[in-house]
Each structure stands twice: as C-alpha cells, then as structure tokens.
C-alpha cells in the first residue's frame, strides 16, 4: 500500500517505510527532524519539469503526462518502492502545500497503476 504525507506532518507507526520524493529538501525542516528511510531524488520530476509546472493546477494534466514519461524512461528508480509496497506500507513524503496537485500525488497514481499490472 502506498500512502502520502507532508514533510511537515509527524511520522506515525502506520507510515511504514518513509521516502522523501522531492528533488529539493523541504524548507524549514532539519534533516535530523525528518524520519526517513530514504530520499529518492531520482523519482522526483526533473528540475525543468518542476519549474515549468510551478504548482499551477491548470498545468496538472500536462505535468502528469510529462512526469509519467520521465518515470517510464527510468523504471529502475521505482523498483524499491514497488517491492516495498507489495510487502507493506510505503509513505511518500512531499513538501508541497497543495495536497492535490503535487509530484507525490502523481507518483502515487503512477505506481498504483503499475502495481495493478
């Protein structure tokens, strides 16, 4: 199972394995304060895509299409998440204020589809 949680929310026992899925460290969070099992920069959108999207909900569909193409090009980056999710809970940690239009939401959608195959 894959869940989502903001980096600013407290960790809980139900989170399972926790991976930060951002290319940039969350503002205002000390590295020692964020309980993580890994920081998966490679699954985050490219800098160019992130800057183009700029958290604009009107670009959401285009962002997902471009992001999914980036993920399709590097399936090896997703293997550890998929393997762990088949055995328990994986929580993808993100920093965006928008809980509906961010890379972790798109990544979860992508992974959920991949795991159904």
19's enclosing H/E stretch is strand 17-20
Q: What is the pLDDT of residue 72?
A: 96
pTM: predicted TM-score of the whole model, two decimal places: 0.94
- What percent helix, strand, coil does the chain show, rounded to 5? 45, 15, 40
Q: Is the pLDDT of residue 111 over 90?
A: yes
In tens, the pLDDT along 61-101 reads 999 999 999 999 999 999 989 999 999 999 999 999 999 99
- For residue 29, the model assigns a pLDDT of 93
Q: Could you tell me which residues come within 8 angstroms of residue 39 by beta carbon, excluding any fewer than 6 positions away? A: 19, 20, 22
Element (DSSP H or E) covering residue 69: helix 60-72
Q: Is the pLDDT of residue 116 over 90?
A: no
């Amino acid at each position: 199972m894959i869940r989502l949680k903001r980096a600013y929310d407290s960790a809980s026992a139900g989170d399972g394995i926790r991976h930060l899925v951002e290319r940039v460290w969350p503002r205002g969070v000390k590295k020692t304060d964020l309980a993580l099992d890994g920081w998966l920069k490679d699954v985050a959108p490219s800098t160019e895509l992130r800057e183009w999207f700029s958290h604009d909900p009107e670009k959401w569909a285009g962002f997902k299409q471009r992001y999914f193409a980036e993920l399709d090009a590097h399936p090896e980056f997703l293997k550890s998440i998929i393997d762990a999710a088949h055995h328990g809970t994986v929580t993808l940690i993100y920093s965006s204020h928008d809980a509906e239009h961010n890379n972790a939401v798109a990544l979860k959608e992508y992974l959920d589809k991949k795991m159904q195959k």
